[in-house]
Chains A and B, each alone.
Chain A
């Protein structure tokens, strides 16, 4: 079994400091890269590693970097996505708190690979202490000459800026994030152009998740092939899985890509609380379609979860035991997407609100038997009809909870005769 890469530092005292990081071999990878490798070779190594984008979409990191136009005279930017707002997700917080310089070293290598001299960390506004730590440690890196001009005596220059968000889930979506970085409200942009062509300040920009970048130093140190072999097919390396909900030991577990969901829940997270039985589990942050207790022998990687109609997403595993009110769970999740819909696209703005209100009505005991199909209808009309995938993120839980746990919803809307508790007279969705 593979050891640990990032989480090795989680238990080390002062793991966030430059001295401790260097004592454990930190900043050797960037030294080697700058001395021995051309930028294109760095990207090739990352391609070989099968490192996937770990922010949710799983796009191969090396491929994304290769989209940066080589002949553009414009400045290039690296933007690290530390917005971490998908419910059930908390891994990037651990990295920023305890693998701070590992993240910086990854930023340096990635910036070198794409030709950026300026990088931003866009961190959610609520992470005040994390932002303070980043700013403080960036200062230490400048003091030592690891950031700034002529890094390690080479011609490579890099400035690193921490940019705090201000409470908006949508700003985790990369184009909304770029709008927000530019000082605007976070409304997603149409793609294309993709950020690699036209991103921040109309310049070629790579947006990568914190965790994606944090694995880069080790990949360049040990080699892409080595990293690739730690994981499963086309899903390289290790991965941080965050487990929350009804387990004995909620927390972050660094395991090979493709570890089974059953193993994560029962071995690493200690199994369910109070000897309870599993009812449902969301494998990748609250937008990932829910799985039933029979579906947990799946490999936790991007391709395997897609194959069974769910997704790895942010790998935030939310475990629900047999005491869980599934109707309420869907209500809470849908309320979130309604609250966070940016309002730009009508299907998402209105649809999430309708769905939330219908679910609330069912919870309050005023469900109608038509509600279930109405909800499915709304989900179907949001899906694929919006500029950014927040709409899909709201529709996927609706569809999956309502389909896989239909009996729970039917029981919630029916009285004993199987008809709606409230007569099915025509109702406006707007009530």
Chain B
């Protein structure tokens, strides 16, 4: 038996999700999203639990978790800055934005601050190249970035 469990609310959401697919295992990605929402990140215990829910060995969960970039297997900062380093953003100066954020947050790329306030990542094209340079901050896109607009966003979110 796993050491963690969904709340009643997540459990009924899980049942709703599973019912959408002809096979139970197909609910893997949505269940991992649900688990991340409930537990903050996907620890090895959560992997085991998700495996039990989907009736697949935990290794199948691990295999998925490590293949995709969006799931957090370690705690992430409350504000997750994902700056696009794709070709269109590169042409329009994303390097400056990345360096500016590194300095402001006092982090290297792919690092999380010790107080779990910030995570800084460089990511591939986010599908908003018309607004390059751009970034995703948690769930929202911010485009046409300059060091000044980045500062404004930082002040607002702090």
Contacts and interface: CB of A to CB of B under 8 A. Distances in A.
Interface stretch (A61-69, A122-130, A297-305, A346-354): A122-130
Contact of B70 (A87, A126, A201): A126
A87 B88 contact: yes
Given A90-B129, A164-B33, A182-B26, A336 B90 contact: no
A128 B140 CA distance: 8
Contacts of B70: 125-126, 166-167
A92 B129 CA distance: 12
B62 to A, nearest CB: 10
Contact of B69 (A127, A168, A181): A168
A163 interface: yes
Interface in B126-156: 126-132, 136, 139-141
Contacts of B28: 183-184
A245 B91 contact: yes
A84 B132 contact: no
Contacts of A244: 88, 91, 129-130, 132
Contact of A320 (B26, B29, B69, B91): B91
A89 B91 contact: no
Contacts of A157: none
Interface stretch (A140-148, A217-225, A326-334, A376-384): A326-334
Interface string B82-95: 10011110111000
A85 B91 contact: no
Nearest to A282: B87
Q: Considering residues B23, B27, B86, which has the most beta carbons from chain A within 10 angstroms of its beta carbon?
A: B86
Contact of A185 (B21, B67, B130, B139): B67
Interface stretch (A4-12, A42-50, A246-254, A403-411): A246-254
B91 A84 contact: no
B25 A85 contact: no
A242 interface: yes
B28 to A, nearest CB: 3
A85 B68 contact: no
Nearest to B86: A87
Nearest to B64: A185
A339 interface: yes
Residue among B71, B88, B123, B140 facing the most chain A CB atoms (10 A cut-off): B88
Contacts of A126: 70, 82, 123, 126-127, 136
Contact of B20 (A129, A161, A185): A161
Contact of B29 (A163, A251, A332): A163
A369 B29 CA distance: 47
Contact of B130 (A85, A165, A252): A252
A163 B30 contact: yes
B9 interface: no
A30 B54 CA distance: 37
B94 to A, nearest CB: 10
Chain B's interface: helix, strand, loop or mixed, by majority?
A: mixed
A136 B68 CA distance: 26
Nearest to A161: B20
A409 to B, nearest CB: 17
A244 B126 CA distance: 13
A339 B139 contact: no
A187 to B, nearest CB: 8
B124 interface: yes
Contacts of A316: 129
Contacts of B27: 183
A75 interface: yes
Contacts of A332: 85-87, 90
Contacts of B132: 244-245, 250
Contacts of B29: 163-166, 180, 183
B115 interface: no
10 contacts: A86-B125, A87-B125, A88-B87, A126-B82, A126-B127, A126-B136, A167-B69, A167-B70, A245-B87, A251-B130
Interface of A: 75, 84-90, 92-93, 118, 124-129, 159, 161, 163-169, 180-186, 201, 242-246, 250-252, 282, 286, 316, 318, 320, 324, 328-329, 332-333, 336, 339-340, 342
Given A86-B125, A183-B54, 17 more contacts: A85-B125, A89-B127, A92-B127, A159-B20, A166-B69, A167-B70, A181-B26, A183-B56, A186-B67, A245-B92, A250-B129, A318-B88, A320-B91, A332-B87, A336-B86, A339-B124, A342-B67
